[in-house]
A = this chain, B = another copy of it.
């Protein structure tokens, strides 16, 4: 199992943002995605998750192997913590939520409606979703936002357990997670406005 990205170019809102992105992520590996604000991390992850087509380049792995954790957690405020998680477990056909609840220290909050959680508790619930997808590759967009230090450690442990079990994770983050991980900086891949990917498939390709 390997996620190989080759010479990828992606756009956001019609504007090419990245080009020439190439890296590989193999089973058992964690890759940290770095880059300043607005450099295109979210855009890249959305593309890999299959939410938007690339402008150019290839991705070796179908979106079916990927679990995507976005900026927003997709929680339903009127459903309880357990109901929220159970829903995703059923959608992904795994059905089992006890371990996820345990790993993210949510068990005692099980019956609480999601609206009554604090920011960090909501985030923990959003991350627990990853465990119930049962998918091998995790794409995470700033997963530790709003987490306190204990929770960050809890998250790092979950990632470690996941890759130890043959999974892989690609994590966009600005902070240090304390994981043994390779780092991929997309700062260097900024799309050049006057050439390359910016033109592929763009409206004005024919004008140049």
Residue A62 is within 8 A (CB to CB) of chain B in the complex: no
In the complex, chain B residues whose CB is within 8 Å of the CB of A149: 174
Within 8 A of B (CB), among A86-145: 116-121, 123-124, 142, 145
Copies in the complex: 2
**Chain B residue at minimal CB-CB distance from A120:** B37
Q: Is there a chain B Cβ closer than 8 Å to A7's Cβ?
A: no
Contact in complex: A119, B42 (CB < 8 Å): yes
Q: Which residue of B lies closest to A172 (CB)?
A: B119
Contacts A13-B116, A42-B119, A118-B37 given; indicate if A147 touches B124 (C-beta within 8 A). no
Q: Which residue of B lies closest to A37 (CB)?
A: B120
| Contacts A36-B150, A147-B37; A142 near B116 (Cβ below 8 A) | no
A37-B151 in contact (CB<8A)? yes
Residues of A near any B CB (own CB < 8 A): 13, 35-40, 42, 71, 116-121, 123-124, 142, 145-152, 174-175
| Besides A37-B146, A119-B142, 4 other A-B contacts (C-beta < 8 A) | A37-B147, A145-B146, A147-B174, A152-B174
